[in-house]
Chain A
Amino acid sequence: GENVEQHPSTLSVQEGDSAVIKCTYSDSASNYFPWYKQELGKGPQLIIDIRSNVGEKKDQRIAVTLNKTAKHFSLHITETQPEDSAVYFCAAKLLQGSGNTGKLIFGQGTTLQVKP
């Protein structure tokens, strides 16, 4: 089945610097890769996603890149701010059950700390 590896497990940056989190996946059939942000005491929330027919997607200070050949994708946060401090999870879609049903396989998570 699908396996998603996420690195690093912890990341500390100074406010204003960039942060990059990387994930690799094993199933070449995976075609959807979201990123979730989990703030302290809350559940994860989708922040950006990318499909396999796109190489890069941006939304203000965050961007995601996908390399299908190498089977890895990355989250880039520029001009980091203290409110970016959270746990970030990558995920890859795996087909589940019959028909066009699927589920997400999550990475291990990265704790990002942005120091003021």
Chain B
Amino acid sequence: EAQVTQNPRYLITVTGKKLTVTCSQNMNHEYMSWYRQDPGLGLRQIYYSMNVEVTDKGDVPEGYKVSRKEKRNFPLILESPSPNQTSLYFCASSWGRDGISPLHFGNGTRLTVT
């Protein structure tokens, strides 16, 4: 089954404790992206990747890191989480980089930072 898999689904952590949210897709997609969803703000892009070893900042990159060592994986790293990073996070992928190819989203990771 074609899918984007995120783990974990739920995560509660404390301020400053490094964490990684994993994302994997099995569709051989070139484009991958991370979004955060906050009430009243919709989906905002954190980082994106056009291909292996190619990553770039989205609209809200502060406090986040990503890597793209393999085509299928695109982990999101929070080196020192803070309470304002409490949010619902989505990983997405698409076969094209043109912004028209449909985005395939994972089921989300709800992160709470206390």
Contacts and interface: CB of A to CB of B under 8 A. Distances in A.
A44 B98 CA distance: 19
Contacts of A43: 4, 90, 92, 105-108
Output the residue of B43, B56, B106, B107 with the most chain A CB within 10 A. B43
Interface string B66-100: 00000000000000000000000010100001111
Given A43-B90, A97-B50, A101-B50, A34 B102 contact: yes
Contacts, number: 66
Q: At the interface, is chain A mostly helix, strand, loop or mixed?
A: strand
Contact of A44 (B44, B50, B105): B105
Interface string B31-74: 00101010011111100101000001010000000000000000
Interface residues of B, number: 26
Could you say which interface size class chain A belongs to? Answer: 20 to 34
Nearest to B48: A103
Interface stretch (A58-66, A71-79, A87-95): A87-95
Interface-centre pick from A49, A94, A103, A109 (highest chain B CB count, 10 A): A103
16 contacts: A34-B102, A36-B103, A42-B105, A42-B107, A43-B105, A43-B107, A44-B103, A89-B42, A94-B99, A101-B98, A101-B99, A102-B97, A102-B98, A102-B99, A108-B41, A109-B42
